[in-house]
């Protein structure tokens, strides 16, 4: 590659910032095909960023800035969370949001979507990859967006990418409130289980983000369980509501109780305060009898009540669209107890964590909202 070479890859290199690692003579086991091209490229410029770091090509070797090529492709780094959906990919670069650029079989270059695990062919050479990027740097390389975001928030570390708090595939947007800079490996591992779950599902199918079945001592194995649902609830403003699907109400007066007590309610509708303002795992567990009063495994326990005339329950942030799942139970009045845990896992910015909200309902009186066990600490992030 010479300064007079006007090939797409040469144009990309002219705009690049690098190297990200020291000089290396790289051998990837091939002298031709995309792997041969990649070895030659990294032996010339060992890693770089381009388009205001909207695109990052990994460096090779034990020292350098950002992810290292071979380690990035080790299954235990992040691919193991994709349940086989990332097998056969040799990822060599990524965009601002962690979309991977990968070589398959040393003959094709594809994009790999971290939220869906979908692969999209874009060429058969690095020259083709560079031409594809240069055809639309703002859309394919996040050029303008990367520059504008870093102007507002400061430069990204070479190990960081942006991840949405509410995933793009579940309706999340590109606004500042929904994006956070996070270690690139962590970004991939967060989305792996979700992608492996939805990859082969038809459009419109209901999916769940909850990684593990929670431990409960009396979850209805004796036939006492009426209904059970594992839900992923977008807790905008650090809260969500449990209600009959036909009820409409104004929760403005509930703001302080939801902040202070993580519970509020009136007239057979109740709201739950959460430790994070993002999608959180919620168990809706409806039984014929009350649960026990052992709160040892829980950080915060509250109680309220629910009245349903239709027997169709929604758990959401004032979202009544058909996409919100309905749980069917017998109409009537229910006592509701909310068990919450995992508060010690919440990140300092209050955005990430392994918190869980287990809602147990049983036929009974509608209690005024009350705290049965209070979390003794202050939640991170506020």
Residue 204 tokens, joined: 């419109």
Residue 223 has pLDDT above 50, yes or no: no
Contact (CB, 8 A) for 196 and 250: no
CA angle, 54 then 58 then 60, to 5°: 165
Q: What is the rounded average pLDDT for all residues in the chain?
A: 89
Q: Residue 41: enclosing H or E segment and its boundaries?
A: helix 33-44
Domains of the chain: 8-198 (no CATH), 225-373 (2.60.34.30)
Q: Which residue has the higher pLDDT, 166 or 328?
A: 328
Length of the chain: 382
Taking alpha carbons only, the member of 216, 358, 220 closest to residue 288 is 220
Three-state DSSP at 312 gives strand
> Rounded to whole angstroms, how far apart are CA atoms 130 and 116?
24
Contact (CB, 8 A) for 277 and 238: yes
Q: What is the pLDDT of residues 141-178, one digit of tens each?
A: 999 999 999 999 999 999 999 999 888 988 889 998 88
Q: What is the pLDDT of residues 234-288, one digit of tens each?
A: 898 899 999 999 999 988 889 999 999 999 999 889 999 999 988 889 999 999 9
């Amino acid at each position: 590659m010479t300064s007079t070479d006007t090939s797409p890859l040469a144009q990309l290199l002219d705009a690049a910032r690098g190297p990200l690692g020291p000089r290396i003579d790289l051998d990837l086991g091939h002298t031709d095909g995309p792997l041969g091209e990649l070895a030659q490229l990294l032996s010339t410029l060992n890693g770089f960023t381009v388009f205001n770091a909207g695109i990052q090509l990994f460096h090779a070797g034990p020292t350098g800035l950002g992810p290292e090529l071979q380690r990035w492709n080790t299954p235990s780094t992040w691919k193991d969370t994709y349940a086989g959906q990332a097998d056969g990919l040799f990822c060599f670069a990524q965009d601002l949001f962690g979309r991977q650029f990968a070589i398959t079989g040393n003959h094709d270059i594809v994009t790999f979507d971290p939220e869906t695990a979908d692969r999209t062919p874009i060429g058969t050479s690095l020259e083709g990859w560079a031409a594809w990027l240069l055809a639309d740097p703002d859309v394919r390389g996040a050029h303008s967006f990367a520059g504008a975001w870093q102007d507002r928030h400061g430069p990204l570390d070479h190990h960081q990418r942006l991840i949405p708090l509410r995933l793009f595939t579940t309706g999340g947007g590109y606004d500042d409130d929904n994006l956070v800079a996070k270690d690139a490996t962590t970004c991939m591992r967060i989305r792996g289980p979700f992608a492996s779950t939805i990859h082969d599902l038809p459009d419109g199918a209901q999916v769940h983000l909850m990684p593990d079945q929670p431990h409960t001592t009396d979850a209805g194995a004796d036939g006492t369980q009426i209904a059970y649902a594992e839900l992923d609830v977008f807790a905008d403003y650090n809260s969500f509501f449990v209600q009959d699907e036909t009820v409409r109400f104004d929760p403005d007066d509930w703001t302080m109780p939801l902040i202070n007590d993580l519970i509020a309610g009136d007239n057979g509708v109740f709201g739950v305060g959460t430790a994070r303002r993002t999608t959180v795992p919620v168990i809706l567990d409806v039984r014929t009898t009350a649960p026990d009063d052992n709160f040892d495994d829980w950080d915060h326990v509250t109680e309220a009540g629910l009245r349903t005339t239709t027997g169709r329950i929604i758990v959401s942030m004032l979202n009544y669209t058909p996409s919100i799942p309905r749980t069917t139970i017998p109409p009537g009045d229910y006592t509701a107890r909310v068990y919450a845990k995992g508060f010690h896992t919440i990140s300092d910015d209050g955005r990430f964590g392994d918190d869980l909200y287990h809602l147990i309902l049983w036929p009974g009186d509608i209690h005024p909202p009350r705290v049965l066990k209070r979390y003794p600490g202050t939640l991170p992030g506020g």
